[in-house]
Amino acid sequence: MKNRYRIVIVGGGSTWTPGLLKSLCLKKEELPLSELILFDNDPERLAPIGGFAEILFREENEDVKVIVTTDKDIAYRNVDFVFCQIRTGGFKMRELDEKIPLKHGAVGQETCGAGGFAYGLRSITDMIEIVNDVRSRSRDAWILNYTNPAAIVAVALKHQFPNDDRILNICDQPINLLKSYAKLIGKNHDELDPVYFGLNHFGWFIHLYDRNKKDLMPEIKQKILNNGFEPADKAERDPSWIDTYAMVKDMLEKYPDYLPNTYLQYYLFPEYKARHLNKDYTRANEVMDGREKRVFSECRHVIKVQTAKSSSIAKNEAHSDMIVDLALAIINNTNESFIVIVPNDGIISNINSDAMVEVNALVGSNGPKPTCIGEISSFYKGLIEQQYAYEKLTVEAYFENSYAKALQALTLNRTIVDGFKAKTILDELIICNNGYWPKLK
Ligand code: NAD
Ligand code: G6P
Ligand code: MN
């Protein structure tokens, strides 16, 4: 165990970086840093967030050297952890990912359906480059990756780096949901011990145990059925997220076995969602007008007044705490339980062993040790196998430059289904993603 650690945040200009910095300051005793590096390939995004970081750390974590850089050699040399959160193509491309499918009557979403497919084909190239750049400079660093679509990124990185066991793909939505369930019954999220299974943005909670091993799932379900469902951090959420959480009740009414991840609504109610999502003002517009503006203007303000003391920077504690807590579990070999994305290898015994599944794992110095789920029943098996076939074909389309596989992937996706629709959307996405995607032949 070292005394002090070096962490690089890749995508240092991300809207989530200030929250992450705050979390690193709050946990400075548990996770002492020698250097914190913010790396981004866009100097204009990096400058305000980097300026904020320097001031925040000067005030709250002064022993740490903060380095703000666009130089890979400075960023990746001898680091212990890489916290990765990039967005290839930025919000402008996200807007197209969402608007193109919607124009053709299909769900338009950042990570699900055709939008997630388009974003996936963009993310893979950059993520492979990042892993190679890190590995040539920091052989043993842990790469903790939030970059979306995490499902596609996880399958692609497993394909490209099959023996690299220090890449861990993660998502904060299970913990966001856990916080919201806990709030419903007046508890703290760390009082709930969940059992979760599925693919990323495509999973279910089976149990929510309390400290006495009593399953609180029936009580929580009943609360949702009676009173609806809201995010725990409702006050900081935009309207579209409130709507998204509310639909958990609709899913539960129709499919009462388990508590679904919010993202399942795009697959279970694809026609309804495609009709009701705003075609002209999507989540990308909401983020550009909301979170992005708030974060960057707050950082510029902090730089102007040279103090972050009264700053209430936009943050999602579940998001920033999860990645910092994972690093701590690895450093201290705590074997604490997290819900993370890992190779299936029999965890869910009756689906493909090479799927990248999202399940509980005990995380220690050797990484995640997933807990067994066993057999799942026909409805869940059918849904997951279809979705995994979509993920696999998307990644194969990327590596083989295959138009045929891309079309198969989109046709298999439950948000599209129809082959004519799949082709129309694919052909338009190809034109808009010119320069970002491999050439599909
Ligand atoms: P953002 O656009 O504000 O931030 C991304 C940053 O990455 C930008 O500053 C951009 O310049 C930079 N970037 C792009 N390509 C890069 C590259 N190749 N190398 C270095 N930097 C690069 O987006 P955001 O909304 O803050 O989200 C960041 C990422 O985190 C997205 O992929 C988002 O989907 C993801 N995310 C995932 C989860 C999860 O549950 N897995 C949760 C939150 C956010
Ligand atoms: C959830 C998901 C993430 C997603 C994030 C932000 O936490 O798990 O994968 O990136 O929401 O989404 P937004 O639409 O606010 O950018
Ligand atoms: Mn996620």
Classify residue 62: in a domain, yes or no.
yes
Residue nearest to atom 30 of ligand 1 (CA): 85
Take atom 37 of ligand 1 and give the residue whose Cα is closest: 146
Please indicate, yes or no, if residue 275 is contained in any of the structural domains.
no
Residue pLDDT, tens place only, 201-236: 999 999 999 999 999 999 999 999 999 999 999 999
Residues with CB under 5 A from ligand 3 (ion): 171, 173
Q: Is residue 383 in some structural domain? A: no
Q: For 77-97, how does the pLDDT look when each residue is reduced to its tens digit (9 = 90+)?
A: 999 999 999 999 999 999 999
Give the closest residue (by CA) to ligand 1 atom 16.
86
Rg (CA), the chain: 21
Give the mean model confidence (pLDDT) for residues 290-305: 97
Average pLDDT over residues 410-434: 98
pLDDT band at residue 316 using 50, 70 and 90 as cut-offs: low
Reply yes or no on whether 427 is catalytic. no
Answer whether residue 261 is part of any domain.
no
The verdict on residue 263 lying in a domain is no
Is-catalytic flag, 172? yes
CATH number at residue 26: 3.40.50.720
Number of separate domains in the chain: 1
Cα-to-centroid distance, 177 and ligand 2 (Å):
12
pLDDT in tens, 61-76: 999 999 999 999 999 9
CB 394 within 8 A of CB 152: yes
**Among 245-254, 314-323, 424-433, whose mean pLDDT is lowest?**
314-323
Q: Is residue 151 part of a domain?
A: yes
Can you give the residue range of the structural domain that contains 19?
A: 5-169+287-311
Dump pLDDT digits (tens) for 94-134.
999 999 999 999 999 999 999 999 999 999 999 999 999 99
pLDDT greater than 60 at residue 429: yes
- What is the Å distance from ligand 3's center to 317 Cα? 14
Which one of 146, 181, 245, 263 is the catalytic residue? 263
Catalytic residue from among 40, 172, 321, 325: 172
Q: Tell whether 20 is covered by a domain.
A: yes
- The answer as to whether 322 is a domain residue is no
